[in-house]
């Protein structure tokens, strides 16, 4: 495990790759899925603008958004393709 906090008790376990602004920039979704599918990047998560992924102990606890219709997806390699699995998103009020 890699500690991001020096000698503290907080440890970080690599959850894979990540892609912010998933639909917010032209071509980003296709590039990220392609890189995961080709094995250039490991499986990971993609979050659109206005969303966040909450992690606890190396696991996704939930995804949240301050606006509706903003996706969070898990992108995994399947053969030579990057496949999206939707992550439920709770809209903050």
Q: What is the pTM of this model?
A: 0.81
Q: What gap in Å lies between CA 86 and CA 35, rounded to an integer? A: 18
Q: What gap in Å lies between CA 32 and CA 24, rounded to an integer? A: 13
Strands 44-47 and 17-19: parallel
Q: What is the pLDDT of residues 39-84, one digit of tens each?
A: 999 999 999 999 999 998 888 999 999 999 999 999 999 999 999 9
Q: Give the residue-averaged pLDDT of 13-40.
A: 92
**Residue 13: pLDDT over 80:** no
């Amino acid at each position: 495990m890699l500690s991001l906090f020096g000698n503290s008790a907080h440890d970080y376990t690599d959850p894979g790759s990540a892609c912010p602004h998933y639909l917010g920039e032209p071509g980003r979704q296709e590039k990220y899925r392609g890189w995961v599918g080709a094995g250039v990047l490991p499986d990971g998560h993609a979050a659109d603008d206005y969303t966040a992924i909450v992690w606890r102990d190396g696991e996704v606890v939930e995804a949240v958004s301050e606006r509706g219709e903003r996706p969070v997806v898990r992108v995994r390699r399947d053969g030579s393709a990057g496949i999206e699995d939707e992550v439920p998103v709770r809209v903050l009020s």
